[in-house]
């Protein structure tokens, strides 16, 4: 059976839901999400949305901070567009029901926080659960919209592309591929279904589960990036993986982030002896950009052999700490840590992909009818290092611009949708009796990436990783075609694709810039590498 829809949205975070609510005004929207609709990176975002509302702030100042953080690789036109349009998108969130901390009685009189890399307070937040507040508001509106179908426990497997050609005399002009939907695994039935869509939007989030230690949920396996690459779309800047400096270090804690806002409110980093160390690395100390702080912590751990460093906010008023960070306070108490009196053990962890599917200012990829927004995309905003809290901002702005562009395109596309799509072919496949192959490869990829393609890299380690990843990918591809699909196998295929892209990109960049640090090339090389790293599959 082929299921038709006007807009197919793959992913249910802030980018996908924001787009879906607007696109539903022009046609039917189907949202595919591989778990519960509220399981997303958005829901775990603690810090907030960076946007210009404060009296001491300005568009020019926010632009300057973003460009500085991006270390020479941001697209200035993109940065300006996102920053200028941010406030209006935040106002839309308020109108949709999102409630943020307020400083006064005005509708948009927000209480502003500060985070690393920002020169002023500009972080709009809902205590330390900003992402959850936004996600709840968007999900509530999506569930009540009759023009939106939400399909949970559905895993996108592959994009469906089609090539058209025209003949003039003896000449045939081949056009670019265009996307016309996706094959999707229904986890309830175990069957792969065919979705035919006029417009397909990738909003699957990031890919940091490719690393052993990460702040991301289990769903962050780079599905959109991997599918787009396999379909022929360009991906860019995959070497720039952001490691958040402060993930809770505790044997029973999994993927719990200690928000950058904690440092923004005055927390300091201490070594195992209780001494501050950030001044040894940068005059910005704890409020430096994430790449600088993560490398400093990594250096301290390697020098001392300690398992963690410590983030200390115990010098602040306990009532303020509990009120400002209720979720972090409560979660740490579960592990016997009272952040009002105790320093928090923290380590860096993979957090955000600054690279992704390359898009234009409208979120368009170079595969026609295919858009990518949010962490799945590479728009040019983040450059070599994302400025804190610019991620939710980018998702909102690009969801809006993608909606405007795709709504304009929809009428013409719908006139030309008479395409016979082939159903998913499961011929000669059998149920697997070797699940250990999936679990073993999954673990090996993540350990390999952490040890060889982490915060500090070298050509020798990258080359070793490339050889091993190729071998693993060959094994996975053979397994993939022989056995009936499961969600675990789909995700494994995607993380090995992402791992390959990160390694290839890192090997191409013979310099150190932003989040990519290679000990063999410790300096920036603006004469050679002042451009995105772009990869495209050869067919």
* Residues noted as catalytic: 290
3-state helix, strand, coil in the chain (%, to 5): 40, 20, 40
Strands 112-113 and 123-124: antiparallel
What span, in angstroms and rounded, lies between the C-alpha atoms of 119 and 56? Answer: 10
Rounded-to-integer distance, Cα 134 and Cα 143, Å = 14
**Residue 198 to residues 72, 407, 415, 448: CA-CA distances in angstroms?**
37, 10, 10, 39
Strands 309-312 and 268-270: antiparallel
Distance (Å, rounded) from C-alpha 434 to C-alpha 369?
A: 38
Q: Take residue 336 and report the two structure tokens written for it.
A: 């016997």
* E strand or H helix at 143: helix 130-143
Q: Are 240 and 385 in contact (CB under 8 A)?
A: yes
CA distance 326 to 276: 25
State which H helix or E strand residue 241 sits in: strand 241-248
Residue closest to 18 by CA, chosen among 203, 225, 223: 203
Cα angle, residue 162 at apex, residues 10 and 411 outer, rounded to 5°: 70
Going by the DSSP 8-state scheme, the letter that residue 184 receives in this structure is E
Do residues 279 and 285 lie in contact, with contact meaning Cβ atoms separated by under 8 Å? yes
CA distance linking residue 398 with residue 407, whole number of Å: 14
The rounded distance, in Å, linking the Cα atoms of 112 and 92 is 18
Distance between CA 104 and CA 383 in Å, rounded? 35
CA distance 440 to 409: 45
What dihedral angle (degrees, nearest 10) is formed by the CA atoms of 530, 213, 129, 54?
Answer: -20
Residues 539, 230: contact at Cβ < 8 Å? Answer: no
Written as one string, the DSSP assignment of 290-351 is HHHHHHHHHHHHHHH--S-EEEE-TTS-HHHHHHH-HHHHHHHHHTT--TTTSPEEEEEEEE
Backbone angles phi, psi at 8, to 5 degrees: -105, 115
């Amino acid at each position: 059976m082929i299921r038709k829809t006007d807009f197919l949205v793959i992913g249910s975070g802030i980018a996908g839901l924001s787009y879906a609510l607007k696109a539903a005004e022009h046609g039917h929207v189907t949202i595919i999400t591989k778990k519960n609709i509220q399981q997303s990176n958005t829901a775990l975002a603690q810090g907030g949305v960076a946007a210009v509302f404060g009296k001491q702030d300005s568009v020019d100042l926010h632009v300057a901070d973003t460009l500085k953080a991006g270390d020479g690789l941001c697209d200035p036109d993109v940065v300006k567009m996102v920053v200028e349009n941010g406030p209006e998108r935040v106002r839309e969130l308020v109108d949709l029901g999102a409630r943020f901390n307020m400083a006064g009685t005005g509708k948009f009189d927000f209480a502003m926080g500060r985070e690393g890399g920002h020169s002023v307070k500009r972080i709009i937040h809902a205590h330390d659960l900003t992402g959850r507040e936004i996600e709840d508001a968007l999900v509530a509106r999506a569930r009540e919209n009759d023009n939106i179908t939400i399909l949970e426990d559905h895993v996108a497997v592959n994009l469906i592309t089609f090539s058209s050609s025209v003949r003039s005399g003896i000449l045939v002009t081949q056009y670019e591929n265009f996307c016309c939907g996706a094959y999707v695994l229904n986890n309830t039935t175990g069957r792969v279904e065919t979705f035919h869509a006029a417009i397909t939007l990738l909003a699957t989030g990031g890919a940091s589960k490719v690393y052993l230690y990460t702040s991301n949920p289990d769903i962050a396996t780079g599905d959109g990036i991997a599918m787009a690459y396999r379909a022929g779309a360009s991906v860019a800047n995959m070497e720039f993986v952001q490691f958040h400096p402060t993930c809770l270090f505790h044997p029973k804690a999994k993927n719990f982030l200690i928000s950058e806002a904690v440092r923004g409110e005055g927390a300091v980093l201490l070594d195992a002896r209780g001494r501050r160390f950030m001044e040894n690395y940068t005059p910005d100390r704890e409020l430096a950009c994430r790449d600088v702080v993560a490398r400093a912590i990594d250096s301290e751990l390697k020098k001392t052999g300690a398992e963690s460093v410590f983030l200390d906010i115990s010098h602040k008023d306990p009532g303020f700490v509990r009120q400002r960070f209720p979720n972090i306070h409560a979660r740490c108490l579960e592990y016997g840590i009272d952040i009002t009196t105790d320093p928090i053990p923290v380590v860096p962890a993979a957090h955000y992909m600054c690279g992704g599917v390359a898009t234009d200012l409208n979120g368009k990829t170079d595969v026609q009818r295919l858009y990518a927004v949010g962490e799945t995309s590479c728009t040019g905003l983040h450059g070599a290092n994302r400025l804190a809290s610019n991620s939710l901002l980018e998702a909102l702005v690009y969801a809006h611009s993608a909606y405007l562009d795709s709504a304009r395109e929809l009428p013409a596309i719908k006139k030309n949708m008479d395409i016979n799509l082939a159903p998913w072919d499961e011929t000669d496949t059998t149920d697997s009796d070797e699940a250990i192959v999936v679990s073993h490869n999954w673990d090996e990829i993540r350990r390999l990436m952490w040890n060889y393609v982490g915060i500090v890299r070298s050509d020798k380690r990258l080359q070793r990783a490339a050889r091993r990843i190729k071998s693993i990918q060959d094994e996975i591809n053979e397994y993939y075609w022989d056995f009936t699909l499961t969600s675990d196998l789909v995700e494994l295929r995607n993380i090995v694709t992402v791992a390959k892209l990160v390694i290839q990109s890192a090997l191409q960049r013979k310099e150190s810039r932003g989040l990519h640090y290679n000990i063999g090339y410790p300096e920036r090389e603006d004469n050679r590498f002042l451009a995105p790293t772009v990869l495209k599959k050869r067919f």
